[in-house]
């Protein structure tokens, strides 16, 4: 994560039963963030070589369609007390987080004022 400059990764699982030579049908089952590592590994003095991703990942994932309005995404995150949403669309998966939105501060301020 450090080498790629990212603060979180999705954990995915492939469905069984796909044909040889086909791409497996992969679906997200959790998310691991820097915070998960700090709170669930470092702060608890667990050895990072002994802890599995499944033990520290946050699950289930809250997913939304790419057509959801930003103000509705912000509202959902506040209700669910989460920082990231999985955004699904036409064969694409993305992440929406506060850090993603800060690139355009004027839009962010306007959206937050309308939600708050």
List, for residues 66-104, the tens digit of each pLDDT value.
Answer: 888 888 888 998 999 988 888 887 655 555 555 554 444
- Distance from C-alpha of 28 to C-alpha of 26, rounded to nearest angstrom: 7
Per-residue pLDDT, averaged over 29-33, amounts to 89
Structural domains present in the chain: 1-61 (3.90.1280), 62-116 (no CATH)
pLDDT at 51: 92
CA distance 54 to 52: 5
> Based on C-alpha coordinates, what's the Rg of the chain?
17
- Is pLDDT above 60 for 108? no
Cis bond upstream, residue 115 (ω within 30): no
Which residues on adjacent β-strands are paired with residue 63?
A: 86
Neighbours of 114 (CB within 10 A): 11
Whether residue 34 contacts residue 5, with contact meaning beta carbons closer than 8 Å, is answered with: no
The pLDDT value recorded for residue 6 is 81
Share of the chain above pLDDT 70, in %: 69
């Amino acid at each position: 994560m450090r080498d790629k400059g990212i603060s979180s990764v999705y954990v995915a699982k492939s469905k069984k039963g796909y044909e040889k030579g086909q791409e497996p049908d992969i679906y997200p089952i959790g998310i691991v963030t820097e915070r998960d590592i700090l709170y669930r590994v470092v702060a608890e003095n667990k050895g990072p070589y002994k802890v599995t991703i499944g033990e520290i990942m946050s699950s289930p994932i809250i997913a939304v369609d790419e057509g959801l309005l930003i103000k509705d995404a912000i509202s959902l995150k506040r209700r669910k007390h989460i920082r990231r949403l999985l955004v699904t669309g036409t064969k694409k998966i993305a992440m929406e987080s506060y850090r993603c939105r800060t690139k355009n501060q004027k839009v962010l301020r306007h959206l937050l004022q309308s939600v708050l």
